[in-house]
Amino acid sequence: MTLVERVIRILVRLYLGLLVGALPWLTFWTQNNLFTYDPLLLTLAGSGFVRGAVSGLGLLNIVCAAIEAKHFFARR
């Protein structure tokens, strides 16, 4: 894998982790048109458990980016 590919991979994982980690806590999350058609889906999406689980996936993505960056800079 080339240098540019590794850097882009790290940046994409970091960006997606930040996005997925923060998105459930914004008002956009509960006012999404996909959730308004089904009351059960709206209730599920608004629950703290689902928001926390999605944010946890974002945190996991950030950790993966940090580990990959650590290995990348350790080789150099």
* CA nearest neighbour of 10 among 38, 23, 2: 2
Query: How many angstroms separate the Cα of 9 from the Cα of each of 32, 69, 76?
Result: 29, 10, 17
Say if residues 35 and 42 touch (Cβ distance below 8 Å).
Answer: yes
Q: Determine the pLDDT at residue 10.
A: 95
Chain-centroid distance of CA 57 in Å reads 6
Task: List per-residue pLDDT tens for the chain, 76 residues long.
Answer: 788 999 999 999 999 999 999 999 998 888 888 888 888 988 998 899 999 999 999 999 999 999 999 998 887 6
For the chain, how many helices (H) and strands (E)?
5, 0
Instruction: Give me the pLDDT at residue 3, please.
Output: 87
- Can you give the residue ranges of every domain in the chain? 12-75
Confidence (pTM):
0.83
pLDDT at 74: 87
